[in-house]
A = this chain, B = another copy of it.
């Protein structure tokens, strides 16, 4: 659950640097009032929202439930999680600016949870808060907030919260060296016997997403137990590493082992993706954690707790009768990792020409003449495709909408086509008095073919759009 740096193995062509693309396409910008916190302009936000919508659409099939958790927690929570000891310098601290004096301490209960209907006598908090650099402690608290049985597991939380890390401002740049970012963060709480299946499902998720994004060229790396100073028993590690290896082999992907390179609290699998420039990026991570569930004293009720903890589920009737609390295995997993950094990778991988479904410039309609009926037809087409016609009925949440612009200026059609190409529209439609044309610009294609047909051909546009996968 640490943010990894981009590994660069090749020189960057300045024109395909994501910062150049971001500026040229008005995707994002920065300001000295908040160094390292990108401002996403409308087109950049569109890409961000498409990525999260795509992941959200996959979550039900993979059993993930999205949750919303606080931005900051008291210092005492970070002490409990261990972040205070190891991560303090990278965290931002939050205090109330008020001069109000404390009148009384807040009422707390033994397990730390507030009863919602109690009245509190309290004032502005004197205690310091830490701005969260990761979601794990919040998800542990959510797990802890209800009684859990072995029947409830696995519980899988997903969270797109903004995260903050106090990187030195000299290193801040674009979307890759930031202080504020979002992860497609997820935490799985499972039984020891479920580790292999959860790892397999996580690797399936990675494959599905990376195939969709056109980044099939990736490798898997297993980092195993360090020789010393690890927590947990040798047995726990061996069982977990065996399950990880089985899942890796079953994935059919090439994988290798970095012996002894795991964190002290558990083994992990990293995904190393290679982009179109040959650069490698460490993106997805699947990290087992034997430590955090213990620090938060997480538990679930299961029969034969001693056997359960060893991953044994075939129980005889007598041992089944004894119920007890077992510590769940926690798995941190991110499929894209930092969404900001992944957006940078995608922009560079696709040389700024994102695939249709992710693109903030999906369709442009060019008018051949400036006759009123032609302009009206262009406007009508835009309203249909972008679902912006009328406003007396609510738009359906699941109605597909496209980003459509119109160029009905007085310029010549060839000037308009040059401009549309430069602006990287995926689909360029030309509307004339009796002509309608739709053709698609794909991938890194440098040429724009405009088929001129004799009749209006709205169907063709729809067909072009319909065949694009996924969604949008």
A residues contacting B by CB (< 8 A) are 17, 19-20, 22-23, 26, 29-35, 37-42, 44-46, 48-50, 53-54, 56-58, 60-62, 65-74, 76-77, 88-100, 103, 106, 108, 112-114, 116-117, 119-125, 129-131, 138, 141-142, 145-146, 157, 161-162, 164, 166, 168-170, 172-174, 180, 201, 204-205, 208-209, 211-212, 357, 386-401, 469-472
Contacts and interface: CB of A to CB of B under 8 A. Distances in A.
Nearest to A211: B394
A23 to B, nearest CB: 6
A169 B125 contact: yes
A77 B26 CA distance: 23
B388 A34 contact: no
> Can you tell how many copies of this chain the complex includes?
2
B396 A57 contact: yes
Given A37-B72, A205-B391, 13 more contacts: A19-B117, A22-B116, A29-B116, A31-B113, A31-B141, A37-B71, A39-B69, A46-B66, A50-B397, A62-B391, A71-B164, A89-B97, A96-B166
A201 B388 CA distance: 13
B70 A180 contact: yes
Contact of A129 (B34, B125, B388): B34
Contact of A77 (B33, B38, B72): B33
Given A95-B93, A142-B41, A472-B398, A116 B173 contact: yes
Nearest to A360: B65
Contacts of A100: 89, 168
Contacts of A57: 394-397, 399, 401
Contacts of A31: 112-114, 141, 145
